[in-house]
Structure 1
Amino acid sequence: MVHFVGAGPGAADLITLKGHNLLQRADVVIYAGSLVNPELLKYTRDNCLIYNSANMTLEEVIDVIKKAEKENKDTVRLHTGDPSIYGAIREQIDILKELHIEFEVVPGVSSFFGAAASLNAEYTLPEVSQTVIITRMEGRTPVPETEKIRSLSSHKSTMVLFLSSGLSEKLSEELIMGGYEPSTPVAVVYKATWPDEKIFHATVATLPEIMKTNNITKTALILVGNFLGNDYKRSELYNPSFTHEFRKAENK
């Protein structure tokens, strides 16, 4: 069987308990070496076969899985963060279905959760933003026309940008053209939750300068929105004057 496991954002202790247990039992591990913390591989057995998919093609990954299946071995396909976000798992799953190879997907802690934790931030603040847009700048990989940054920016909601660190100048232009004020706060979280994590604060307008000054060109998340500011309304859930299913409002 093949287990697609989310490795978490970086810190080795942020993998799920299920993911940790599967690594301990795995006969074969194929991990995304350019992104997954190698410390996670210490959870595997001494005789576990380990492959770094950073220098492999899809076909080579499938060949390793097919060989493991013939030998009745369990395979862990270890993806960074959560496999559902820019994990390229669909193309693998479709092939496994054709080959009648059983599989499961084990969720993980995404780096955008890790980044928020590092910032002590809440993406969904009352009367600031109740929507989180997870997206990327168009580069060598295109995006649908309706999902261009300029179009998404019109909502002025919280935005989390993956895979966009090397395109910060164009990103800044698109965010402003789409509707964000140039003064909108931005946080750049490099290698969220890793030991060498770095955090930089900027605005939409100063983002390119911050990225260039600190030589950040990859492995960073760019977070945009007024959730990074200080103005928000308190939650009604814990408001003493608010009645809900579990508590009646206090009489004044």
Structure 2
Amino acid sequence: MTIHFIGAGPGAGDLITLRAQRLIASSPVCVYAGALVSPEVLGHCPAGARLIDSQGLNLDQILSEFEFAHARGEDVARLHSGDLSIYSAVAEQTRRLDERGIPWDMTPGVPAFAAAAAALARELTVPEVAQTVILTRHGARASALPPGEELDLLASHGTTLVIHLGAQAIDQIASTLAEHYGSACPAAVAVRVSHSDEQLIRGTLDTIAAQTHATGIKRSAIIIVGPALTASGFRDSHLYSAARERSR
């Protein structure tokens, strides 16, 4: 048997990979975070699958479910929202699985920031405007950020900045970023992207906090800041330029 860690995407049942759908459909056990993984995704589980909501479980209890499935020879679809590569808490689970000799693998998913960019219909990297995307999170209610990853320092780069888990601190975040980007810099908040209750807020660092408060948003949001959000009149990329064709 194998514990299949699967990126379940931002919410919509069809925003997962073909491999993810196949693994979910073939696993008799599914462990998922009920507050984050959409019921649409759970719809891919086979009839009679044992569904275990992990949002009320601690790490030891989750591992106990894995051990139980391992003893029964049952594959497990372990679903995490978005993609596994960031803020998924997969590493602490796989570390313990290795200690127990329980096999596991990972299947990537559509990350929340990419889904947010698509919903906003914007590319986060624009020629000569922004060629770097910084992914970070607000640190107040989680483990401390390592030295050198403070928001003020990251903002000093002036490129596209994506902040997870920060809706409850939008005033502080907007104020900090405005010192580097300027108060007129474009900003957006994307909430529950691809869910039926998706919300998209577009503004500037001067307005985005008040706009966010007006909607009552406090969680499940992605904050995106940077000039790429409204860039226009930029030069074409070299990828498809005629000059590139001539230089071949």
TM range (shorter): over 0.9
Structure 1 runs not aligned, ≥5 long: none
For 1:146, the equivalent position in structure 2 comes to 148
1:170 to 169, 172, 191: 172
Alpha-carbon distance in 1 for matches of 2:46, 2:9: 20
1:192 positional shift: 1.0
Matched-pair contact (CA < 8 Å) for 1:28–1:68? yes
Alignment of 1:70-81 (within 5 A): 70-81=71-82
The DSSP-based 3-state class of the residue aligned with 1:221 is strand
Alpha-carbon distance in 1 for matches of 2:27, 2:6: 11
Alpha-carbon distance in 2 for matches of 1:112, 1:60: 30
Matched-pair contact (CA < 8 Å) for 2:178–2:185? no
For 2:84, the equivalent position in structure 1 comes to 83
Matched-pair contact (CA < 8 Å) for 1:158–1:227? yes
Aligned residue identity for 2:174: S
CA deviation vs aligned residue, 1:187-220 (integer Å, no higher than 9, x gap): 1111111121111111112221011111111111
Matched-pair contact (CA < 8 Å) for 2:6–2:107? yes
The answer on 1:98 being equivalent to 2:99 is: yes
CA deviation vs aligned residue, 1:12-39 (integer Å, no higher than 9, x gap): 1011000000111111100011111111
Alpha-carbon distance in 1 for matches of 2:96, 2:247: 56
1:249 positional shift: 5.2
Moved more, 24-33 or 225-234: 225-234
The DSSP-based 3-state class of the residue aligned with 1:227 is helix
1:176 positional shift: 2.2
For 1:22, the equivalent position in structure 2 comes to 23
Give the structure-2-normalised TM-score. 0.96
The answer on 1:200 being equivalent to 2:198 is: no
Matched-pair contact (CA < 8 Å) for 1:31–1:78? yes
Aligned residue identity for 2:147: E
Matched-pair contact (CA < 8 Å) for 1:188–1:221? yes
For 2:38, the equivalent position in structure 1 comes to 37
The answer on 1:181 being equivalent to 2:179 is: no
For 1:214, the equivalent position in structure 2 comes to 215
Matched-pair contact (CA < 8 Å) for 1:159–1:224? yes
Alpha-carbon distance in 2 for matches of 1:164, 1:190: 11
For 1:239, the equivalent position in structure 2 comes to 241
Alpha-carbon distance in 2 for matches of 1:136, 1:127: 26
Structure 2 runs not aligned, ≥5 long: none
Give the structure-1-normalised TM-score. 0.94
The DSSP-based 3-state class of the residue aligned with 2:187 is strand
Aligned residue identity for 1:236: H
1:145 positional shift: 2.7
The DSSP-based 3-state class of the residue aligned with 2:4 is strand
For 1:9, the equivalent position in structure 2 comes to 10
Matched-pair contact (CA < 8 Å) for 1:137–1:148? no
Alpha-carbon distance in 2 for matches of 1:81, 1:230: 27
**Runs of 4+, deviation exceeding 2 Å:** 247-250
| Percent pairwise identity | 36
Matched-pair contact (CA < 8 Å) for 2:26–2:46? yes
Matched-pair contact (CA < 8 Å) for 1:166–1:218? yes
The DSSP-based 3-state class of the residue aligned with 1:133 is strand
